[in-house]
Structures are given as structure tokens and as C-alpha cells.
């Protein structure tokens, strides 16, 4: 199994990036699992030469959100504040 990330919407199409194969899957929005949004992480499967979404990987999404939250908190902690003076 491999993972894909919903990168963006282009009109009525969804663009999913599959990093493992350096591939891009473009499908109609209505073919996405319910609850899909930009940055949704999918479990993917390659059958023959085409990719298929198996399910949303909620654990991977949770880990990615936690990592982002931790990085933002770290940046805020390390921030020395603005170099601009307040009036």
C-alpha cells in the first residue's frame, strides 16, 4: 500500500499526489471519499497501471496535524518578536 495526498482542486477535479511513485492522480471530486478536503491523506493501491483510493488514513492525518502544531509552537517559542517598533 502507498499513500496519496489531496493536493488541490482544479474546477470539478481533485489532484492527488502519490509521492512514493512520483505520480499524480486526477479524478472527479465526486469520486473522493466523503469528508475529503485539501491535505487529506489516502491509503492508495495500484492495480494494473492505475491508482485507486482505498480509504482515508485518519492516523496519518492526525500525526501530520500534530507535527504542524508542534512546529508552530516551537516557532512561537523561538520568536524574538517583531523588529518593528509599535507606536
Torsional sign, CA 77, 60, 44, 36:
negative
Grid coordinates belonging to 53: 483510493
Distance between CA atoms of residues 55 and 32, nearest Å: 9
Which domains occur in the chain, in start order? Answer: 2-78 (2.40.50.140)
Distance between CA atoms of residues 66 and 58, nearest Å: 12
DSSP 3-state percent helix, strand, coil across the chain (nearest 5): 30, 40, 30
pLDDT digits (tens, 9 = 90+) for 38-74: 999 999 999 998 999 999 998 877 777 777 787 888 8
pLDDT digits (tens, 9 = 90+) for 64-82: 777 778 788 888 887 666 6
Distance between CA atoms of residues 10 and 57, nearest Å: 23
Kindly tell me if the per-residue pLDDT of 3 is higher than 70.
yes
Amino acid at each position: 500500500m502507498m499513500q496519496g495526498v489531496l493536493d488541490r482542486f482544479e474546477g470539478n477535479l481533485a489532484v492527488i499526489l502519490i509521492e512514493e511513485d512520483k505520480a499524480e492522480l486526477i479524478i472527479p471530486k465526486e469520486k473522493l471519499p466523503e469528508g475529503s478536503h485539501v491535505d487529506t491523506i489516502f491509503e492508495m493501491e495500484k492495480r494494473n497501471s492505475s491508482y485507486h483510493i482505498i480509504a482515508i488514513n485518519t492516523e496519518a492525518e492526525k500525526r501530520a496535524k500534530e507535527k504542524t502544531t508542534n512546529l508552530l509552537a516551537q516557532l512561537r517559542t523561538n520568536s524574538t518578536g517583531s523588529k518593528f517598533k509599535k507606536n
